[in-house]
Amino acid sequence: MTNVNTNSGNLNPLFHPAVHYGSPADVLNAKELSTPEKRIILSSWASDMYAVESCPALREIPGMNRTIRLADILAALRRLDGDNDDDDPPRGGGVPMRLRRPWAAAERRGA
């Protein structure tokens, strides 16, 4: 007996979202999908289960005739969250801050 959870070749092609959507942008633009449905599809595509062994930045989705960049999938997920800065790299931790020496303030008061 084969396990359909581990052998995707046995599944009906209709169960593969890739049969219906060829890219993360296609998923985002699909009017028939709700936001949670889009998130489920994109999140499944981002899964390490579909990572290309020699290139983990790519995903090989069953039913697709090409690989998809993980960065494109993650950008689509960010767009679902309302973040449209797809081209900008992630921001750093904020403005660097200098910590004052506690004794410096006391020295200034005494002067």
pLDDT at 68: 93
pLDDT at 5: 38
Bridge partners (DSSP) listed for residue 59? 51, 68
Q: Which two tokens stand for residue 111?
A: 């002067």
pLDDT string in tens for the chain (111-residue length): 333 333 444 444 445 666 678 899 999 999 988 999 899 999 999 988 889 989 989 999 888 889 999 999 999 999 998 876 545 555 555 555 555 555 555 566 665
pTM exceeds 0.85 for this model: no
Which alpha helices (DSSP H) does the chain contain, by range? 24-29, 35-46, 70-80, 102-110
Cβ–Cβ < 8 Å for 8, 16: yes
pLDDT at 111: 58
**How do the domains of the chain map onto residue ranges?**
11-85
Q: In one letter, which amino acid is 76?
A: A
pLDDT at 1: 33
pLDDT at 20: 78
pLDDT at 82: 85
Cβ–Cβ < 8 Å for 17, 41: yes
